[in-house]
């Protein structure tokens, strides 16, 4: 491996280890102040560019949910398929 390639690898490895550190902090529900700081960093780093958010989606963004009573009625309604005991 050339000296340049080795430097590049070491730089990327440092970044990789730091990225795993961010992931570790973001995965903690009980966070220390450092975890909170690193999670904020992660949030900022992963924020989509305004107006270019490829994950926006009509169905997802509709925030679809169900009323608990509606679900209970649905669950107890007549079977949709062929009759079973």
Partner 1 sequence: MYLHNGRHMHEATAPQEKSVICASCDIGCQLTAEVRDGRVTRVRASNNPLMRDNICMKGIYAPKSFAHPDRVRYPLRRVGARGGGQWERVTWDAALDDIAARLQRVIATHGPEAMAVATSQWNTSTETGAGRRLMNLLGSPNWISGVALCAGNTAAVNRMVYGWFPQPDYSATRCIVLFGHNPKRHSWTPIYNAIRRAQERGATLIVLDPRRSESAERADLWLPLRAGSDAAMCLGWLKVIFDEQLYDAAFVRDWTVGFDDLRRRVDEYPLERVAALTGVAPEQIRAAARLYATHGPSVIPWTPITDQQRNSTSAIRLHCALRAVTGNLYVPGGELFHGLSPDIVPETDLELHEQLSEAQKAKQLGCDNHPAFTYRGMAALTEPTRRVWGRPYVNLLMGSYMANPSAVFRAMADGVPYPVKAFFSLGNNTLLGFADMRTIYRGIMNQDLVVVHEHMMTPTAQLADYVLPGDSWLERPQLHDAWGWTAIVRVSEQAMQPPGECRGVYDFWRSLAVRMGLGAHFPWPNLEAVYDHRVRATGMRYRDFEATYEWYVPTIAYRKYERTGFATPSGKVELASSVLAALGFDPLPYFREDPPADPDYPLQLFMGVREDEYFQTGHRHIPELRQRRPEPELFLHADDARDCGLAHGDWAVVETPTGRVKGKVAIRPDMPRRLVRVPHGWWKPELPQGAEHLSGAWEFADAQITRDDEDYRDREQGIPHLKGLPCRVRPLAAAEAP
Q: Which residues form the interface with partner 1 (CB under 8 A)?
A: 1, 9, 12-13, 15-17, 19-20, 23-24, 26-30, 39, 42-43, 46-49, 52, 54-55, 57, 59-68, 70-72, 74-82, 84-85
Q: How far apart are CA 13 and CA 51, in angstroms?
A: 32
Minimum CB distance to partner 1 smaller for 37 or for 74 = 74
Closest CA to 17 of 5, 29, 9: 9
Minimum CB distance to partner 1 smaller for 4 or for 75 = 75
Closest CA to 45 of 14, 17, 30, 23: 23
């Amino acid at each position: 491996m050339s000296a340049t390639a080795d430097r590049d690898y070491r730089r990327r490895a440092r970044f990789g280890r730091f990225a795993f550190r961010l992931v570790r902090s973001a995965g903690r529900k009980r966070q220390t102040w450092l975890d909170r700081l690193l999670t904020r960093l992660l949030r900022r780093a992963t924020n989509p560019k305004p107006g270019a958010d490829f994950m926006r989606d009509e169905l997802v963004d509709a925030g679809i949910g169900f009323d608990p009573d509606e679900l209970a009625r649905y669950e107890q309604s007549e079977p949709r398929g062929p009759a079973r005991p």
